[in-house]
Chains A and B, each alone.
Chain A
Amino acid sequence: MRKVLVANRGEIARRIIRTCKRLGIETVAVYSEADADLPYVREADEAVLIGPSQVAQSYLQADTIIDEAKRLGVDAIHPGYGLLSENAGFARKTAEAGLVFIGPDATVIEKMGDKIEARRTMQQAGVPVVPGTENGVTSLEEAVAEAENIGYPIMLKASAGGGGIGMVRCENEQALTQQFNSVKNRAKAYFGDDLVFLEKFLPEARHIEVQIFGDDQGNVIHLFERNCSVQRRNQKVIEESPSPELPEDVRQELCEAAVRAGKAVGYQNAGTVEFIVDQSNRFYFLEMNTRLQVEHPVTEEVTGLDLVEWQLKVASGEPVPGQEEISAAGHAIEYRIYAEDPVTFFPSPGTLERLQWGEGARIDSGYEEGNAVTPYYDPMIAKVIIKGESREEILRQSREFFASAAIEGVKTNIPLFRMFLEAEAFTAGNYSTATLGKWLENMKEEQNS
């Protein structure tokens, strides 16, 4: 592999370019009009303008991107995360153009992108799934009947959904009745497919995922787990590895189940198997993400591996290491810094007039001081990754880091991290996906009383 086109933007494009540079692989960046001044465009060996600012007219233009890749003589396309990364059509077209798609086979992307199909596949492979409907529900009557069987609260989800979009929690029949058409319409608008299904909502559960890696010789290994339970709007805000408060035998079973899931679909390259873990440490398959994840750095920090390097190696036909060669040491936490109001989560686009980070962290950011965070894309400004020998040590380092970090020009969620790092809800380590929301509610009540 001599030359790679990165079909993505911002921090992940920059991250991929960094590893390619280290390995002596040439890079091509693609960018929209809004992103012309971002560092990744400058850092790539070549850069191509692919269209206006809106993703639909630029980063989602599969044919344009593949044409540019062919014109510039690249060997492979790295899709990053989001955008076209889980678009089976793009993977297929890339392969048909005689280029290597750095990710799994298009058929696997398709299978896992259909959440109903994914659940079915995992059940057949002996991986437990969240109780829910076997198939999609097409009418409200059917949904109400199924919800009675499953028991409230339930999650109403778009089968083609992802990224925290297209799912709503319903506490009772009234809520389900109110939400049913809106979720269907939203699924149609976002994902072009209005099929929805129901899953039992497990309260106070944790979201724990396992990083897997497969090669073209049928080997699948795991790189341990990440706890991603600190969420807002069903999206992750803090991720850590190893997961606190997880018994060693459960960790082992989770990792083995993830490998089983990967083998069941003939998985190649980097993937993530997401599980919901309930209060009794029973776990259930949630979904599989067929790409590199935003939170991959915490796994890199504890295993000492460069996941992008392994993606390139596997895509070039190299086998993955043996499971016994993979070990994890220490602890790592990632904080996602968003351009948003820290309490309402309302996005806050603008220019980064000041971008000052503290010491002692790995910063993966697509921006530099002076860049604009525009309303066209995800509001993430940076990922702050802090590692150490123990969790306590990291929490201390994190407090110091955020005490001296300063961003001006946009609102950020740094104040939220400053406070959350003092809260026992987080520092004790036994948090669930409900923790951040509850803690914020309590805080608002205290402020109002």
Chain B
Amino acid sequence: MKELKATMAGTVLNVLVAEGQAIEAGQAVCTLESMKMEIPVEAEVSGKVESVQVEIGAFVNEGDTLLTFSE
């Protein structure tokens, strides 16, 4: 089980993937808003989403887990 962490603090604008979904490296999995800018968060490697750890509107800090996935 691997974790995809937020690279910077921000508010979760949307979540683009669901549990059980296959994802590919480079695919946008969610969007964060930080410093008035929308920042797409991309999957680093391909795999399958095991669990989504955040909700839309939630504030995450740098290093917080956004989702877990298996390769």
Q: Is the CB of B35 within 8 A of A349?
A: yes
Which residues of chain A have C-beta atoms less than 8 A from B11's C-beta?
54
A375 CA to B9 CA, complexed, in Å: 6
- Given A346-B39, A378-B36, does the pair A189, B10 have CB atoms closer than 8 Å? no
Does A342 count as interface, using CB distance less than 8 angstroms?
A: no
Contact pattern, B 1-15, Cβ under 8 Å of A = 1, otherwise 0: 000000011110110
Q: Is the CB of B8 within 8 A of A349?
A: yes
Q: Is the CB of A347 within 8 A of B37?
A: yes
Of B8, B34, B37, chain A has the most CB atoms within 10 Å of the CB of B37
A345 CA to B14 CA, complexed, in Å: 21
Which residues of chain B have C-beta atoms less than 8 A from A340's C-beta?
35
Which residues of chain B have C-beta atoms less than 8 A from A185's C-beta?
14
Contact pattern, A 84-116, Cβ under 8 Å of B = 1, otherwise 0: 000000000000000000000000000000000
A185 CA to B62 CA, complexed, in Å: 25
A54 CA to B58 CA, complexed, in Å: 11
Q: Is the CB of A233 within 8 A of B37?
A: yes
- Given A54-B59, A347-B8, does the pair A186, B13 have CB atoms closer than 8 Å? yes
Q: Is the CB of B13 within 8 A of A375?
A: no
- Min Cβ gap A342→B in Å is 14
A54 CA to B35 CA, complexed, in Å: 11
Chain B interface residue count, CB cutoff 8 Å, equals: 15
Which residues of chain B have C-beta atoms less than 8 A from A339's C-beta?
35
Interface residues on A, range: 10 to 19
Does B56 count as interface, using CB distance less than 8 angstroms?
A: yes
Q: Is the CB of A349 within 8 A of B9?
A: yes
Q: Is the CB of B13 within 8 A of A347?
A: no
Task: Tally A-B pairs: CB < 8 A.
Answer: 40
Which A residue sits closest to B13, measured CB to CB?
Answer: A189
A40 CA to B56 CA, complexed, in Å: 33
Q: Is the CB of A347 within 8 A of B56?
A: no
Does A163 count as interface, using CB distance less than 8 angstroms?
A: yes
Which residues of chain A have C-beta atoms less than 8 A from B8's C-beta?
347, 349, 375
Of A186, A349, A375, chain B has the most CB atoms within 10 Å of the CB of A375
Q: Is the CB of B13 within 8 A of A379?
A: no
Q: Which residues 5-35 of B sit at the A interface, judged by CB distance below 8 A?
A: 8-11, 13-14, 34-35
Contact pattern, A 174-192, Cβ under 8 Å of B = 1, otherwise 0: 0000000000011001000
Does A165 count as interface, using CB distance less than 8 angstroms?
A: yes
* One of B35, B36, B56 near A189 (C-beta < 8 A): B56
- Min Cβ gap B39→A in Å is 7
10 cross-chain pairs, A with B, having the tightest CB-CB distances, nearest first: A347-B35, A375-B9, A379-B35, A375-B34, A378-B36, A347-B37, A54-B59, A375-B35, A347-B34, A375-B8
Given A189-B13, A349-B35, 10 further pairs, Cβ under 8 A? A54-B59, A163-B36, A165-B36, A340-B35, A346-B39, A375-B8, A375-B9, A375-B62, A376-B9, A379-B36
Query: Would you list 11 pairs from A and B whose C-beta atoms are within 8 A, ordered by A residue?
Result: A54-B59, A185-B14, A186-B13, A189-B14, A189-B57, A339-B35, A340-B35, A347-B34, A375-B8, A375-B9, A378-B36
